[in-house]
Amino acid sequence: MSPRRVYLHVGAPKTGTTYLQDRLALNADALRRHGYTYPTGPHEDMFLAALDVVDRPWGGMRPLAQGEWDALVRRTRKVRGTAVLSHEILAGARPSGVRRVLDSLDGTEVHVVYTARDVARQVAAEWQEQVKHQRKLSFRTFLEQIRETDQRKATRWFWRVQGLGGVLDRWGRGLAPERFHLVTVPRPGGPAGELWRRFCAATGMDPAWAPVEGARKNPSIGTAETTLLRRVNARLKAAGLPSDQYRSLVRHAVVHQTWANRPDMQPVTLPPEAFDWAEEIAQLWIERALEAGVDVVGDLEELRPVRPAPDAVWQDPDRPSNRDVSSAALDAIVALTLEAARRPDPADPLVSRSARLSRLLRR
C-alpha cells in the first residue's frame, strides 16, 4: 500500500516551519479524518529522519538518526490518502540525498513545498540559529562569508537551505513545475494565520481542518542576548560541556524559555549598505521562480527586503550596550538557578553544585 500523494515540505529554516509542524502534529487526528496523515511515529517531529538524509554531525546526533528515514518511509507507505512530511533541514540535502528521498517514495505522486522569506531577515535569523548551535562567529564575519560565497555553488549551509535557486535545482529536478509549491512567508504585521492558510493552499488542505494552534516556536532573540551567547559558547567549549546538556540547559532553558520572552529586545538587522546586495538576491530569486514556472502561493514581491527608514539608526549586532548584556546575563542566571533546583543531584547537592559553580566563576 502507498499513499496516492505525498507533500514533502523541505524548508527553509526560520520560515515558520516549527509553527507549521506543530499545527500538523496537534491536529493529526482531525486531519486523518479528512484523508491527510502526518506520520511522525515515535518522535514528536521528523528531525532525525531528515538528519539521516542530510548526513551532518549535528552536535553528535548523527548516530541517533541511522535508519530513521527508512522508518519514516515505511510509515508513509501505510498511509491511506495523502501524507505530509516536513522538516526544514531537508532543504540542505545534497543531490544524492534528494535522489534517495525521491527514489524511496517511488510510486507516489510527490509534491515539494518550500517556504521562503526575504534574505535580509534570513541572514539575521540564520546567524542566531548557528550561535544557538554553539558557534561563536560574529555577525560581521557571518555576513561577509555569506556575501563572498556564490549561492549557486551552495558550498555553505546557509545557501544550501536558503538559496532558492539551488533548492529549486536539487528538489525540483524531474518534477513537473506544478508539483513544486513555493510559499512566500507573509511580512510582519500581516493577517493572523496567513502562513497556515498559504501552506494549506499549497497542500490542498482546508485550514479549518486543523483549528488547534500550538505554542511551540523557534523564536529569535536580540543583539545583546546573541552576543552574550557567543561569549558563553566560548567558555562552555573550553569547559567541555556535552552537546546534549547544552541543548537542554542553554538552548532550551535559557534561549527559548527565557531570553525569547524578554521584552524590548533590539532585533538583529542588516547594515544599511547591505540592502542593495539583498535586493539583488531577491531579484535573482524572483526571476528564477518565474523562469521555472512553479506554483507560487503568496506574492513573490514579499521576497524583497524592506529597507529601513532613511533616518533609522542601525544598531551593530556585535556591539550591544553593556547594560543590555548584563540584564540578559541576570535573566540567564535566574533561569539556570531555577532549572538546577528542579534537577537535584543524587549526592550532596550543596557541595557538588558549589564546586561546579566555583569552577565556572574562576574562568
Q: What is the pLDDT of residue 351?
A: 45
Question: Residue 315: inside a domain, yes or no?
Answer: no
| Count of beta carbons in the 10 Å neighbourhood of residue 304 | 20
Mark whether 127 and 257 lie in a shared domain: no
Alpha-carbon distance 114 to 87, whole Å? Answer: 10
Asked if 11 and 112 sit in the same domain, the reply is yes
What residues make up the domain containing 228? 223-266+321-361
The answer on 97 and 159 residing in a single domain is yes
Residue 346: its pLDDT value, please?
57
What percentage of the chain exceeds 90 in pLDDT? 85
Q: Are 174 and 111 in contact (CB under 8 A)?
A: no
Residue 359's pLDDT band (boundaries 50, 70, 90)?
low
Cβ neighbours of residue 169 closer than 8 Å, sequence gap 6 or more: none
Q: What pTM, to 2 d.p., does this model score?
A: 0.91
Q: 280 and 194 in one domain?
A: yes
Instruction: Name the more confident of 360 and 114.
Output: 114
Alpha helices in 172-268 (DSSP H): 194-203, 223-239, 243-245
pLDDT at 353 over 60: no
48 lies in the same domain as 162: yes
Which residues pair with residue 37 across a beta bridge?
83
For residue 95, tell me if it sits in a domain: yes
Q: What are 85's strand-pairing partners?
A: 8
- Residue 55 backbone phi and psi in degrees, to 5: 60, 60
Q: How far is CA 249 from CA 30, 50, 208, 348, in A?
A: 35, 24, 37, 21
CA-based radius of gyration for the chain: 21
38-43 long-range contacts, CB within 8 A, separation 24+: 38/83, 38/84, 38/86, 39/72, 39/75, 39/76, 39/78, 39/79, 39/83, 39/85, 41/71, 41/72, 41/75
* pLDDT above 70 for 330: yes
Based on the fold, state whether residues 9 and 124 are members of the same structural domain.
yes
Q: Mean pLDDT across the chain, nearest whole number?
A: 93
Q: What average pLDDT does this structure show over 220-227?
A: 95
Q: What is the pLDDT of residue 155?
A: 84
Domain assignment of residue 133, yes or no? yes
Does the residue 313 lie in any domain? Answer: no
Is 194 domain-assigned?
Answer: yes
Rounded average pLDDT over 6-17: 97
Same domain, 142 and 229: no
**Same domain as 215, residue 133:** yes
- What CATH number does the domain containing 166 carry? 3.40.50.300
Q: Tell me whether residue 228 is in a domain.
A: yes
- Does 260 share its domain with 174? no
Whether residue 252 is found in the same domain as residue 159: no
Domain count, the chain: 2
Which pLDDT score is estimated for 349?
A: 46
Instruction: Clarify whether residues 61 and 167 are in a common domain.
Output: yes
Check if the beta carbon of residue 184 is closer than 8 Å to that of residue 116.
Answer: yes
Residue 311 lies in a domain: no
Element (H, E) at 153: none
310 part of a folded domain: no
Residue 350 is predicted with a pLDDT of 46
- Residue 152 has what pLDDT? 77
Same-domain check for residues 55 and 164: yes
Q: What is the model's pLDDT at position 50?
A: 98
Lowest pLDDT segment from 139-153, 172-186, 213-227: 213-227
